[in-house]
Structure 1
Amino acid sequence: MNPKEKKIMGLAVSAHGLIHLFEGVLPPLIPLLIVKFNTDYFHIGLVVAAFSYAFGFGALPAGILADRVGPRRLISLFLFGTGILSIAVWPVYTVWSSLWSYGIIMGFIGLFCSIYHPAANTLLSLTMTQKGNAFGIHGIAGSIGVALAPILSALLGSMLGWRTPHVIFGMMGVALAFYSLTLPGQVTTTPAEKERPPDTPDEGHTVDWIKIVLFLLSATSLGLTYKGIMTFLPTYMGQRVQLVFFSTNPVALGGTVATIALMAGAWGQYIAGRLVDRFDAEKLYLATILTGMVFVFAMAFSNGLILVGATVIYAFFFFATQPVQNFLISSYFPKHRHGLGYGIHFFLTFGVGSTAAAVAGFLADRLGLESIFIAMTFCFACSAVMVILLIFRTNRSRPGQQRAA
């Protein structure tokens, strides 16, 4: 990477880790919130859904804006908005102490968070020479954020009160927002586009919408699994894993064990990011989904260290899908529509996928937390079917592309 690429990666890596702290701050606090608000899993799931719907549905207009006003400007807006609103959780709850006030402010935080992924992936796709590697590094930061959120939120919340992690993460966001202003507002295409694979569509090429639809259906199914599993994973770990030194604090236990398991996701992001530049992306995508599916199913029937091991392997392969997805979007959409492509993708994965938070809470209340993982296995299977159809479509279209070349 040249100095300009390194500076862009520095911002993207920091912001990606931070957005998953904002996203992951609530689930580890669920045991505390149930007591504080005298509520149940379903209603907490509705608060998560409010954040997640806004997180997803705002991604589509954010993707369109990224193509028009520049992705860096949108990243700055995300950082300022989420930072200020997260800090505001403290005074807002002091004045209006209800679950609904918390749900409203979490919804607005989710709306500002929706800006990030379309903007950042557009920025990387247009400025990085080795896109697969860049997506992998960027994904590692996100995986580390996902992994650290349970332990940081659980420890801060259990020791200093449930509002504390919101405020601390918010202060980090505002600080990073000021750093982002040191980068230019508009980006220019770099040699990354000169090294674009020959079958990548551009302004003069026809976009294969059947492939795009199959890909997006697959990604939406995985989005359901992400929100369904991540919302209740710390609580599930706290109930099913026992460690002597956490025997009196299930909140801290669940957050810590979830963090240990999810750290494997960073390795999945990195390795998949390296491989996707060298191997068939669609087949790599299918392999990661099928392997992840097996271990999600195992999580429903596991306890103790076996559950931790199954979660580690699940996290590795689930997060390995993400740099592959980002690479495929940059291949399926012309470069002047990358923002739109990422916007649609995150609109579906985070927006439609957020439905799983409330559904998972409903299942947990009536059938137990383990039922969530059985349901999510079905979503993995649906995703795999879509990718198999995508591979057939890709294999059929390649001979025609080669003749046209």
Structure 2
Amino acid sequence: MVGHAMVHTYELSIPILMTIWLLEFSTTTAVLGAVVALGYGLFGIGALPGGLLVDRFGSRVLISACLAGMGLSFLALSLAPNIVGVAVALSLWGATASVYHPAGLTLISNGVEERGRGFAYHGMAGNVGIAGGPLLTAVLLLAFDWRIVSIILAVPALIAAIVGLTITFDPTAAVELTDGERERRPPSSPGEFISETRRLFTIGFLLVFVIVSFNGLYYRGVLTFLPDLLGDFLTAAIGDVQPGIFDPDSPLAEEFDLAQYLYAGLLLVGIGGQYLGGRLTDLIEPERGLIIMLTSLTIIGLLFVPAAGTGLWGLLGISFILGFALFAMQPLTQATIARYSMPESRGLSFGYTYLAIFGIGALGAAVVGTVLTYGSASLVFIVLAGCAVSGALFAIALVTRE
């Protein structure tokens, strides 16, 4: 849970820092979207080799290495002289952060008997980081330069990495493995890797892979530029509120951005979504839950701009509904992956699916950045709704297949 909170603290502090990088480095949303997509892409691509490492070395070592690498990457970010330096630091972050989800989710799948409840609490911890990361970043930016903020953010991960090395646990407490399964070693050659991949990719798992890819596009696409979008919607709804809170000439007035706090509130609401999604996995088949939530995300995508255009209360309502539904997906997704994979190769299964969620999904940042550069916010949410409805159709195929 601590590792999950830290991963998402860093992940979701990046969109807040992007609002500053746009001005400091005089770049466009398209260029910055591509730079961020590089780091987020490695976050996903690295999940596959990360999953292989988890099956070989176990979760504890991998989670501690992940935390140490993320802390060092944000130290490097504080030294970035230009947009290229930002790209290098974010790439380091993405590569090291990528091993977390295969490690953490393998541990829960194989080590926690009440899997749905475990995914729920694990997800809630992630949302503490998801909401706390941007909120902490926004608050720190009121008092410090963004480079100092990057250094401050690096410290907790480095401490957590050291603490993590002292922890031991039984990683297979919730599964009964045969002697053959316990002795089974992860692939150590290209041929063995291909053979294990073929064994894993049943029709059911392939459908799950496609579903989580579309969910990843929606997730990354909507969250990356949401602070900027919310700022535009807030200005249209209530105007510029800064002069009414601070002295217009004070540094706080210059740095204060109400949209960043609305963004953090949206992410905080996701804690409730994580709990609901986790509990649903104990009540219904998780793949049926995916149909419900992806349909909801489709409707939210189509209604977001019209609802936000009705005024402040409409914007708040649709934003919080989005936050709740977006994160209710995650425990359902994780339980579905576990349902369609094998315990002895669970690291590989989560490696593949998080390659899809965060690797393929990273294209969502580039797509949304491009649409915003050449199109409109309305078009962005129509594209996102298309991703959700595509995922829902594949989820229906998963449930109804013979």
Q: Please state which band the TM-score falls in when normalised by the shorter chain.
A: 0.7 to 0.9
Question: How many angstroms apart in 1 are the aligned matches of 2:151 and 2:295?
Answer: 39
Partner AA of 1:264 in structure 2: V
Q: Is the Cα–Cα contact under 8 Å of residues 141 and 255 in structure 2 kept in the other structure?
A: no
Question: How many angstroms apart in 1 are the aligned matches of 2:58 and 2:166?
Answer: 14
Q: Is the Cα–Cα contact under 8 Å of residues 234 and 255 in structure 1 kept in the other structure?
A: yes
Post-superposition offset of 1:159: 3.3
Post-superposition offset of 1:150: 2.5
Q: Is the Cα–Cα contact under 8 Å of residues 200 and 349 in structure 2 kept in the other structure?
A: no
| 1:114-149: CA deviation from partner (whole Å, max 9, x where unpaired) | 010111001111111111100110001112221222
Given the alignment of the two structures, is residue 34 of structure 1 paired with residue 22 of structure 2, yes or no?
yes
Q: 1:285 aligns with which of 290, 294, 297?
A: 290
Aligned length: 368
Partner of 1:374 in structure 2?
A: 382
> TM-score, normalised to structure 1's length?
0.86
Partner of 1:58 in structure 2?
A: 46
Post-superposition offset of 1:250: 7.6
Partner of 1:365 in structure 2?
A: 373
Question: How many angstroms apart in 1 are the aligned matches of 2:337 and 2:285?
Answer: 14
Q: Is the Cα–Cα contact under 8 Å of residues 33 and 365 in structure 2 kept in the other structure?
A: yes
| 1:260-281: CA deviation from partner (whole Å, max 9, x where unpaired) | 1222211111112112122222
Q: Is the Cα–Cα contact under 8 Å of residues 107 and 171 in structure 2 kept in the other structure?
A: no
Partner of 1:228 in structure 2?
A: 221
Partner of 2:59 in structure 1?
A: 71
Question: How many angstroms apart in 2 are the aligned matches of 1:372 and 1:28?
Answer: 19
Given the alignment of the two structures, is residue 81 of structure 1 paired with residue 69 of structure 2, yes or no?
yes
SS of match in other structure, 1:300? helix
Q: 1:277 to 1:208 in 2, by over 3 A?
A: farther
Post-superposition offset of 1:316: 1.0
Q: 1:137 aligns with which of 121, 126, 131?
A: 121
- Segments of structure 1 that go 5 or more residues without pairing to the other structure are 1-12, 196-201, 397-405
Partner of 1:193 in structure 2?
A: 175
Q: 1:278 to 1:246 in 2, by over 3 A?
A: same
Question: How many angstroms apart in 2 are the aligned matches of 1:87 and 1:228?
Answer: 26
Post-superposition offset of 1:207: 6.3
Question: How many angstroms apart in 1 are the aligned matches of 2:333 and 2:288?
Answer: 12
Q: Is the Cα–Cα contact under 8 Å of residues 155 and 252 in structure 1 kept in the other structure?
A: no
Q: 2:300 aligns with which of 295, 301, 323?
A: 295
Question: How many angstroms apart in 1 are the aligned matches of 2:353 and 2:267?
Answer: 23
SS of match in other structure, 2:225? helix
The range that moved more, 299-308 or 172-181, is 299-308
Given the alignment of the two structures, is residue 330 of structure 1 paired with residue 338 of structure 2, yes or no?
yes
Q: Is the Cα–Cα contact under 8 Å of residues 142 and 255 in structure 2 kept in the other structure?
A: no
Q: 1:251 to 1:56 in 2, by over 3 A?
A: farther
Post-superposition offset of 1:300: 2.6
Question: How many angstroms apart in 1 are the aligned matches of 2:200 and 2:59?
Answer: 23
Question: How many angstroms apart in 1 are the aligned matches of 2:382 and 2:256?
Answer: 24
SS of match in other structure, 1:241? helix
Question: How many angstroms apart in 1 are the aligned matches of 2:265 and 2:122?
Answer: 20
Partner of 2:211 in structure 1?
A: 218
Q: Is the Cα–Cα contact under 8 Å of residues 151 and 252 in structure 1 kept in the other structure?
A: no
Partner of 1:348 in structure 2?
A: 356
Q: Is the Cα–Cα contact under 8 Å of residues 18 and 145 in structure 1 kept in the other structure?
A: yes
Partner AA of 1:160 in structure 2: F
Question: How many angstroms apart in 2 are the aligned matches of 1:390 and 1:165?
Answer: 45
Given the alignment of the two structures, is residue 173 of structure 1 paired with residue 181 of structure 2, yes or no?
no
Runs of 4 or more consecutive aligned structure 1 residues displaced over 3 Å after TM superposition: 242-251
| 1:172-224: CA deviation from partner (whole Å, max 9, x where unpaired) | 1001011101113x74421x2259xxxxxx9xxx8671111111111100100
Q: Is the Cα–Cα contact under 8 Å of residues 29 and 251 in structure 1 kept in the other structure?
A: no
